[in-house]
Structure 1
Amino acid sequence: MRENKLLQCLLFLSMIFIFVCVVPAVKSSAFELEEDEYSWLNDEDDQANMVQSHQSSRSKCELSAGKWVYDQSYPLYDSSCPYLSTAVTCQKNGRPDSDYEKWRWKPNRCSIPRFDALKFLGKMRKKRIMLVGDSIMRNQWESLVCLVQGVVPTGRKRVTYNGPSMAFHAMDFGTSIEFSWAPLLVELNKGAANKRILHLDLIEKNAKYWRGVDVLVFDSAHWWTHSDKTSSWDYYMEGQSLFTNMNPMVAYQKGLTTWAKWVDLNLDPRKTRVIFRSMSPRHNRENGWRCYNQKKPLAYFSHQHVPEPLLVLQGVLRKMRFPVYLLDITTISAFRRDGHPSVYRRAMGQEEKQHLREYSSDCSHWCLPGVPDIWNEMLSTLL
């Protein structure tokens, strides 16, 4: 009798162990998007997605896997937005085509909601969102401000400047949308004989502007890959050691690790959300002319290529304690060689238009309205 009771107890305990320790709990990150949450948009294929099994409705949405869809209802603003830099107002600068403004990104298993400025400002009420990085992050900041500013009354919006940072304020919401210039994230300082020293293990000079921000969006890649002729520094420095040469990807990994340590030590995930936007692709082959006169996205890639900076970034993020979301825009933007300013970086007269090939072509930054608007729709969805 006692043996039977003992066996029953052991069986009961083993069942509890299997339930608690072996069967994994189903967790949902704040950044994971469920298919059934974002399949309500209004085109036919989106409505078809609403009829789905319970199993498929629980699968995650991969924002970066999908296709570009032509949509006549885009763009969401025009190039008269007063916050745009001249270099990205391609329509104002004489670009003859405008279809590049009308493509939206459609993930395979969900949809990205159309950007809603009032909804975004509601989510960001009494909060600061800061985009940190290089000129392409500035490109994205201008896009985000233009997406929002149309619903803010004149006189209730302004831009302020603080060191390397600038901020758009929607005063009725207590919201600021900020940009902070830090293309390498770590510090670039002047040394003896005016030599430029990139300190791979110093960051506080830039990071002091990031404190107290509710949502931080980072990028850093392009400056690390500049050639020797266009490099922004003369030496690398780590600790007390000075280096004239270093593999760029080794240096990038060291710089990102310094950033990661700062985030882990200084930010509280209960108060601050951190997103790292992946590398924006360039279409600079053929001496910068590969993006000239392109009018449609690429239909497909002959082979998939993951850029080395993205692999380095993924490796650093995996080792962090702080939950950082990787906003992967690299592949989706690689389709869009039609979206760059090319020669339309400035307004040109009729005489100049006859000699376009004599001017340099920008195949790195993006026309606005354009591709960065989609990045910001993805960002808004994540928030």
Structure 2
Amino acid sequence: MKFQSIEFLNGNCTLANISKRVFLVSFTLFVTVFLLSLLRGSLHSSSKISASTSLRSNDTKQCDLFSGKWVSHPQGPYYNTETCHFIPDQQNCIKNGRPDTEFMNWRWKPDECDLPLFNAKQFLEIVRGKSMAFVGDSVGRNQMQSLLCLLAGVAYPNDISGRYTLHPYSTVRFYADYNFTLATVWSTFLVRASDADPGGHSYSSIMKLYLDEVDKSWVTQIQNFDYVIISVGQWFLRPLMFYESGQVVGCYYCNNENITTLTNYYGLKKAYQTAFKTLMDLKGYKGVTILRTYSPQHFENGQWNDGGSCGRTRPFTPKEMRLDGYMLEGYLSEVEVFRAEEKEARKRGLQFWLIDISELMMLRPDGHPNKYGRSRDKNMTVNDCVHWCIPGPIDTWNEFLLHMMKIGYGISFN
């Protein structure tokens, strides 16, 4: 809060004028003290333990974009299967026969402001001559595919993935009219990983994670990117053997009495620490690093491999559902690391942003493909309560992204 000083003019002054000025100075001091006391009281009464992210607009008013509710939006989605050819079969819920469509008719409404609609032309102008990479697992790829569809009404990119040596799940696309490169870089753990099961890789086989060694397959690709959006989480729920300095330090869900049992959150935090520190130390890297927080799953009556499903057709209200259990722990682990590393990044002149979607997406059990999902590698349907239908609530993540890029970003942790 700024207070302007009162400047006295030179020249002759009458006693009346001097009295008036003394009164004005006294009155100004009184008002200043009064306002400061109110401010102290307000800060004291509103203090709480939380990790909330605010965006600062041009008029310095802060609004927590991620605190609000889902409201009816009868206008429907930005695109459909006719206007976007990038919708993958795995998340193309309408093509796969989902009969209800109401899940596409909701928008996120922050409590204290409005989240602007996505403007594809505006987005492409902002990223003209720049580059953006989604680094992480298939949910990160899910967001990138949503972005492709949001932009499809204005421009279609060329697939230039063949020019690079990449993981088969990684892609690079180029918008020639805007000189904009959009990539997805596959790295499920962010750190070096390998199979530990002699029987080979499967959905439930144990894996080795070298928590202090970054996965070079992604970090060598993104040095010159302007925006790097990082997101992992779901793969940390499988059996894991943790290594640091080349030595086993513990394991998660591996049932080995001779090895210290650690939580998967231990591995998640260490992996993010290694990734963030590597980016800060990466020579020549000046990009904006963006953490998209944990994306919740909504299996009910079982898990993905024992009959679990997610057949709800409407959002929860905040009173009906909140983050808890392992999803809350995963979210808090990410935020804890982010808070520490963001402070260090600022000292080095780097920008770390947070897209805090965990709690608001917890309210969207209706947004998953459920039995209208398909396996990426096999010609079969699956009960998918991890990924998100396209179009669907995942488009909101890119509304957040555009808004941050458009007005600038400020973070506030109470």
Task: Report TM bin, short chain.
Answer: 0.7 to 0.9
In structure 1, what residue type is equivalent to 2:214? I
CA distance in 2, matches of 1:303, 1:76: 27
Q: Which residue of 2 aligns with 1:250?
A: 266
The aligned length equals 319
Poorly superposed stretches of 4+, deviation over 4 Å: 190-196, 288-291
Aligned 1:313-324 pairs, distance under 5 A: 313-320=334-341, 321-322=344-345, 323-324=351-352
Quickly say closer, same or farther: Cα 1:111–1:382, change in 2 above 3 A: same
CA distance in 1, matches of 2:173, 2:191: 25
Quickly say closer, same or farther: Cα 1:204–1:284, change in 2 above 3 A: closer
Task: Work out whether residues 322 and 362 of structure 2, in 8 Å CA contact, stay in contact via their aligned partners in 1.
Answer: no
The residue matched to 2:403 in structure 1 has which SS? helix
- 1:149 matches 2:152: yes
Aligned 1:139-218 pairs, distance under 5 A: 139-152=142-155, 157-161=157-161, 162=164, 163-164=166-167, 165-189=170-194, 196-205=207-216, 206-218=218-230
Aligned 1:279-358 pairs, distance under 5 A: 279-288=294-303, 292-302=310-320, 304-305=322-323, 307-320=328-341, 321-322=344-345, 323-346=351-374
CA distance in 1, matches of 2:246, 2:56: 49
For structure 1, which segment, 207-216 or 316-325, has the greater mean C-alpha deviation from structure 2 after superposition? 316-325
Quickly say closer, same or farther: Cα 1:267–1:336, change in 2 above 3 A: farther
The residue matched to 2:371 in structure 1 has which SS? coil
CA distance in 1, matches of 2:221, 2:392: 29
> 1:190: Cα distance to partner?
5.3
> 1:300: Cα distance to partner?
2.7
Q: Which residue of 2 aligns with 1:238?
A: 244
> 1:293: Cα distance to partner?
3.2
Q: Which residue of 2 aligns with 1:274?
A: 289
Task: Work out whether residues 193 and 215 of structure 2, in 8 Å CA contact, stay in contact via their aligned partners in 1.
Answer: no
CA distance in 2, matches of 1:284, 1:192: 27
2:76 paired residue among 74, 77, 82: 74
CA distance in 2, matches of 1:86, 1:345: 8
CA distance in 2, matches of 1:69, 1:290: 28
Task: Work out whether residues 187 and 203 of structure 1, in 8 Å CA contact, stay in contact via their aligned partners in 2.
Answer: yes
Task: Work out whether residues 293 and 356 of structure 2, in 8 Å CA contact, stay in contact via their aligned partners in 1.
Answer: yes
Normalized against structure 1, the TM-score is what?
Answer: 0.76
- In structure 1, list runs of 5 or more residues that go unmatched: 1-21, 23-30, 38-56, 348-357
CA distance in 1, matches of 2:310, 2:235: 23
- 1:124 matches 2:145: no
In structure 2, what residue type is equivalent to 1:316? V
Normalized against structure 2, the TM-score is what?
Answer: 0.70
> 1:224: Cα distance to partner?
1.1
Q: Which residue of 2 aligns with 1:87?
A: 90
- In structure 2, list runs of 5 or more residues that go unmatched: 1-35, 37-52, 201-205, 252-261, 346-350, 406-414
Q: How many percent identity over aligned positions?
A: 29
CA distance in 2, matches of 1:113, 1:267: 36
Quickly say closer, same or farther: Cα 1:33–1:203, change in 2 above 3 A: same
For structure 1, which segment, 73-82 or 110-119, has the greater mean C-alpha deviation from structure 2 after superposition? 73-82
Q: Which residue of 2 aligns with 1:25?
A: none
CA distance in 1, matches of 2:385, 2:124: 32
Quickly say closer, same or farther: Cα 1:301–1:182, change in 2 above 3 A: farther
